[in-house]
Amino acid sequence: MNPVIDRRQAAWFLVAGALATGSLACQTLFGGRPPAEASATLAAFPADPALAPDAFSELEAWVASDPDGIQQAAVAQLDNEDSAVRFAALYVLSRTPLTTPSERALHQSLSSTLADERLLAAETLGLHGRADALPVLIDLLDSQAPLAHRDPPMQAWQAASFALIQLTEEDLGLLGAESFEAVAAAKPAWQAWWREAGGELSWDTGLEAFVR
């Protein structure tokens, strides 16, 4: 089963059972391994989805045992030519505290040519109260691009719709919209909402959502 990040853990992407790695498991997995191996772990992330569960488990262990080290490695790997490695790096950034380097890297990923990377970066930044991630999610409301490591399979419009509802507590045609056509039809209303409200939004830590 592929991993999931629920709202309290960091985001809603990667649909399916959550990974939970205890400290004992991390100690067993890593022992005395040097933090420098974090970069090699990311660079070896497999493109084959069948091999991804074990790879995600190892990333989770790094997050638990050395979040700073794996985050630094992840920032560096976002320039990797392998999209699977970049996805793994973005996953790590979604699971570690936001820092100046990671925020800069996530913002750069908002302009990626891959919808999967834009979505992952936008969801993560949105959960950290960065409103400039919202237009990226709005833009993906009419994207049928397939998303990696989702179980069951998911397209960009589905994840973007769910994220916008959660991040803003707005409707604008998304609540109850179960088809691509219905969600895509709501995009103009969301674009108009952003033009009107974008500059007035603030992050409510209690609601974990943007409010005007």
117 touches 147 (CB < 8 A) = no
SS3 202: strand
Residue 8 falls within a domain, yes or no? Answer: no
Average pLDDT, the chain: 85
Residue 16 falls within a domain, yes or no? Answer: no
Please state whether the peptide bond connecting residue 152 to the residue before it is cis, i.e. omega within 30 degrees of 0: yes
CATH number for the domain that contains residue 67? 1.25.10
pLDDT lower than 70: segments of the chain = 1-35
Domain count, the chain: 1
DSSP per-residue letters across 122-171 = HHHHHHTT-GGGHHHHHHGGG---B-TT-SS--BHHHHHHHHHHHHH---
161 touches 187 (CB < 8 A) = no
Residue 150 falls within a domain, yes or no? Answer: yes
Residue 14 falls within a domain, yes or no? Answer: no
Owning domain of residue 186: 23-211
pLDDT in tens, 127-171: 999 999 999 999 999 999 999 888 888 999 999 999 999 999 899
